Amino acid sequence: MTPERVKEELIREAKRLGIDKIGFASADPFLELKERLIRHREAGYESGFEEPDIDKRTHPEKCLPEAKTIIAIALAYPTKIPDPPASEPGAYRGVFCRASWGEDYHRVLKRKLEGLKERLLELVPGATAEEMVDTGALSDRAVAERAGIGWSGKNTSIITEEFGSWVYLGEMITDVDLPPDTPVTEGCGDCTACLDACPTGALVSPGRLNSQACLAYLTQTKGFLPVEYRDRLGPYLYGFETCQAVCPYNRKVNFTHHNEFLPDPEQVKPLLKPLLSMSNREFRERFGKMAGSWRGKKPIQRNAIIALGRYRDRTAVPDLIRLLKTDPRPVIRGTAAWALGRIGGDEAGEALRNALAEETDDQVLWELKNALKEEKTGS
């Protein structure tokens, strides 16, 4: 069978499997990306979640010897919650970013890629192929760009003509030589909406992201969230997407044809207070299937405490005091102190002073002193 025919058959199979976009790229090294990644590391802009070996990230043959082609796929996800529950005083809610709605996309994309691989092996017996979703060494975005799925926007997302940047990306690397597609030319033009809207200046220049200042990454860390960013997080419990929400290519885009990604309103926009007393088991049962649960319960609880502090929710004070007094995790005690300082009031003030006399962790002590200062100034 000719390579052209194999490609046609794979495109047909992709449609049958419900894959929204498929593109083909050569497996040549990503030399330009390599230079960018080195500069990125030197500037201290890495998140720490990425594959540390830059060679592996930019040389497909290190993932699969004899690599010839990378097949990129994209699946569109929804952007609107049907009948979203409202936030009210005393019943405030947080939100998971859209890329975390429904079933964990890693699993969904993996199933699609496995289906595609099965077809490839029927068409080319003896071929080798390896599927990757986020967890592989290669950059999903660099592959998608080369395979013509979309262009890399100034906000660093891949933007497709049809679905905006609300797409999940995955790829399969193979030793079968298939005709490549043409990369999409840049489509941002003069627009700078994402750079202007980023609340922390994490987009330091077009297409250049300082992950250490990016709220999407910071929501996933397990330590203290830097104080200067806490007021900018909004209601987000996991992820952050202002740079995508403001993009003109994303306006009025809402694709709901993948049932797996449809949001459960109570899951993606949960009440904040109950999150503070959730057991590990409850967390797993309620959120375990979402992509947003991959870092466990602690970052979600920390972010929920920050949101309650920002909302100055007085009804949360008893829960926050309980955490300050009894939670074994310094991040949770310290963040509760911050929220109590923000909310203020006699009860919160007394709890902060009592904790100051008993606390032994240095970072929590720092938070307590800061919270008491804030409480005094009422800022």
In this chain, which residue has its C-beta nearest to ligand SF4?
A: 153
Determine whether 346 is an active site residue.
Answer: no
Which CB atom, from 243 or from 268, has the smaller least distance to ligand SF4? Answer: 243
Instruction: Choose the stretch contacting ligand SF4; rule: CB under 6 A; options: 100-108, 185-193, 221-229, 321-329.
Output: 185-193
Which CB atom, from 142 or from 290, has the smaller least distance to ligand SF4? Answer: 142
CB of 150 to ligand SF4, least distance (A): 10
> Catalytic one among 134, 177, 181, 327?
134
CB of 49 to ligand SF4, least distance (A): 22
Instruction: Choose the stretch contacting ligand SF4; rule: CB under 6 A; options: 100-108, 133-141, 190-198, 330-338.
Output: 190-198
Closest by Cα among 307, 333, 188 to 246: 188
Which one of 39, 192, 257, 376 is in contact with ligand SF4 (CB under 6 A)? 192
- Give CA–CA dist 151/214, Å, rounded: 21
Under rule CB under 6 A, which residues in 139-158 are in contact with ligand SF4?
153-155
136's tokens: 């592989």
CB of 77 to ligand SF4, least distance (A): 17
Interaction mask 312-351, ligand SF4, x per CB under 6 A: ----------------------------------------
Instruction: Choose the stretch contacting ligand SF4; rule: CB under 6 A; options: 42-50, 184-192, 340-348, 367-375.
Output: 184-192
CB of 161 to ligand SF4, least distance (A): 12
193 near ligand SF4 (CB under 6 A): yes
CB of 27 to ligand SF4, least distance (A): 27
Residues 6+ apart with CB under 8 A from 23: 71, 72, 73, 144, 147, 148, 149, 181
- Give CA–CA dist 89/211, Å, rounded: 33
Which CB atom, from 243 or from 339, has the smaller least distance to ligand SF4? Answer: 243
124 near ligand SF4 (CB under 6 A): no
Instruction: Choose the stretch contacting ligand SF4; rule: CB under 6 A; options: 135-143, 241-249, 319-327, 360-368.
Output: 241-249
Under rule CB under 6 A, which residues in 243-262 are in contact with ligand SF4?
246-249
Which one of 25, 172, 178, 188 is in contact with ligand SF4 (CB under 6 A)? 188
Contacts 24+ apart (CB under 8 A), 210-219: 210/43, 210/44, 210/45, 211/45, 211/46, 211/47, 211/48, 212/44, 212/45, 212/46, 212/47, 214/47, 214/240, 215/240, 216/97, 216/240, 216/241, 217/47, 217/49, 219/299, 219/303
Please name the amino acid found at residue 126: G
CB of 153 to ligand SF4, least distance (A): 3
C-alpha distances in Å from residue 177, one per residue of 69, 100, 104, 124: 6, 34, 31, 11
Write phi, then psi, for 284 (nearest 5 degrees). -60, -45
Catalytic residue set: 134
Question: Which spans of this chain sit near ligand SF4 (rule: CB under 6 A)?
Answer: 153-155, 159, 188, 191-194, 246-249
